[in-house]
Every structure is written in structure tokens, then in C-alpha cells.
Amino acid sequence: MLKTRAIVSAIALAGSISVASAWDALPTKAPAPANNPTTAEKVELGRILYHDPRLSSTGTVSCASCHNTMLGGEDNRPNSMGVHGQTGGRSAPTVWNAAFNEVQFWDGRAASLEAQAAGPVTNPIEMGMKSWDDVVARLEKIEGYPALFNAAFGNDAISEDKATKAIAAYERTLITPNSPYDKYAKGDKKALTAQQIRGLNKAVEIGCVNCHSGPAFNGPGTFQKFPVIDNAYLEKQYSLSADKGLYEVTGKSGDENKFKVPTLRNVALTAPYFHNGSVSSLEKAVKIMAKVQLGKKLSKADTEDIVAFLNALTGEFPKQTMPTLPGTPGSSFEYK
């Protein structure tokens, strides 16, 4: 992981190629757990399940509905829309590079991609299925799925465990390396513009990397309180502290308003910002973060420099193709 001490040392060497060597580029492959090794067959099954709206009660919402891999890995909405037009209270986090998160969801309630994949399907606001037993029963009636499960797992029995493992395997392929920043980190001192380098240095100087460190700029997996500093004016505008975050999962004193530190990778593509999607532009988000997390008031020039650097975190997206879903010839389901 990228250490703050190493970053500060690098800044002292500004203008030298050794600056880049102190920074970590994004890995091109995500580690998989021992009980879910990545295979091409499993990834293909996961890609199909990820895009299949029949995993929702109404047949209208898929994983891709809120986490669109044709865009920035989310839906660019303040609050994602689930079955029957319902919306929750949080903005969908990006699925790109989610494999490098230590925990999943804004409140970190899932410890793995596999656990995360299970949640939305039975959430009454999101995909609305009553249970995973109902999901499995539906998949069993779709011609083609047993063969896909057999290819992926050597057994055509369909289960929640296999389905979520396949979706997680697919999500581990959603990595966006080779951003201008990555090229800079690997030694290409011309990969960033002068403004982007100023923004990088300013982000280090004011303390952004205390939380947004490491190759994915999402920290070492710890939670962070947000906001740290009360600001009545900003609170009235953006309701930053209304959501209690981790506390809503644990009920423990001290967990109020703690959230998973989100990745800054591709952040220029994922507006609106924050857990509640309340901020429409990256420039505003940078200014607000500086105020409520670091107690800093940024100048217009410093803000523009940091935004320029954040744009340099947009990587190369692996080509995605829409899958052909297994059909149900001559019949359909009764959706509710």
C-alpha cells in the first residue's frame, strides 16, 4: 500500500523520475479467495447473471442497472432506482476496481464481493426477490442456465453460493489500469501534465492521502468518519451527516457517520458525489471534502489543480459486450 511517508519523501524529490517510483500503479489482476478461484467459465456465467434482470422480482432490474459497466460502473444518479421505481438513500458506488476494496457497500456490511452480490437481489427496494430460494427456482426454469453452472462449477445444480461466486468472479475482471497516473507511477514523467502534478502534490500536502492511499486510492480498508468537522451551512445544503453509515449496521457508539473510504479511481466519471449523491460536480466535492474533512479552504487554483489530478485517475476500461441471456422459449414468468 502507498504510505504517506513515502509520498511526502517523493514530494521532496519533485521533478525527478524517482517521484513516480514512490507511487503504486493499479494491479492488472485482482486476487481471488481460495474458495473461489477465477476461471473463464465462471466469469462468463457471472457476466450473464450480472446483466439478467430476471434476478429481480419485476424482471426490470439487474446488477448492471445500478452498476453500469458501459459507464463509470454506477448510474450517475443521486439515488439508484430499484423495482417499482423505488429509490434508496445512497448513491451506487462504482463496480470498477471494487475488487480492491477491503469491504463492500458504503457502510462496509459485506466483507467480500461474494457477500455483496447476495444482498441487492433480496433487498425489497433494490431487486425485490423474497428469497434466494425463489431466485434459484426461477433460474432452474430458464433453459441454458444448468449448462452454464455445470461449465463453471462441474455441477449443474444451481445455488445462491454458486451464483454469487460467479458474479464476484466477473466483478474481479473489472479493473481499469494504465491511467495517466499509472504511467507516471511506472516512471513516465511526461504522463501527467504540470497542472496534474501540482494537484497530486497539493493532495499530499493538505492530507487527502491520509485516507485515499494505496493503488486504488481507497485506503487500507479502514472506515472514516464523514463529515469530521461540523459545518452548518454545508449540512443544510447537502445533509452530509443524516445517514449514520456504519452505525446503522453495528448500533455501536462511535460508529456514527463512518463510511468505507471510496476509491478515487475514475472519480471524474462517477458524479454525483458522496454517499447520498448530494453533490453534482467534482469541483464542489473537492472543496467540500477539504472543508469538512481537513479544515482547509482551497483556492480556485488549488481546486482546479486537484480536479485535474483526479481526472488523471481515469484508466483504460476493458471492453464489455452485452451477453445473450438464456431464454425461456414459449413462456415467461409472472412478475410482481
| Number of compact structural domains in the chain | 2
Question: Last residue of some domain: 171, 197, 223?
Answer: 171
Is residue 329 in a domain? no
Q: Give catalytic status of residue 126 as yes or no.
A: yes
Count of Cβ atoms closer than 10 Å to residue 281 Cβ: 12
291 and 242 within one domain: yes
Is residue 274 in a domain? yes
110 and 14 within one domain: no
Is residue 327 in a domain? no
Is residue 164 in a domain? yes
Q: Which domain holds residue 244?
A: 4-28+179-311
20 and 61 within one domain: no
Judge whether residue 4 has pLDDT over 70: no
Is residue 301 in a domain? yes
82 and 21 within one domain: no
Q: State pLDDT tens for residues 257-308.
A: 999 999 999 999 999 999 999 999 999 999 999 999 999 999 999 999 999 9
% the chain with pLDDT above 70: 93
Are 2 and 24 within 8 A, CB to CB? yes
44 and 150 within one domain: yes
| pLDDT range class, residue 14, cuts 50, 70, 90 | very low
The catalytic position among 74, 102, 114, 126 is: 126
pTM above 0.85, yes or no: yes
CATH label of the domain that carries residue 275: 1.10.760.10
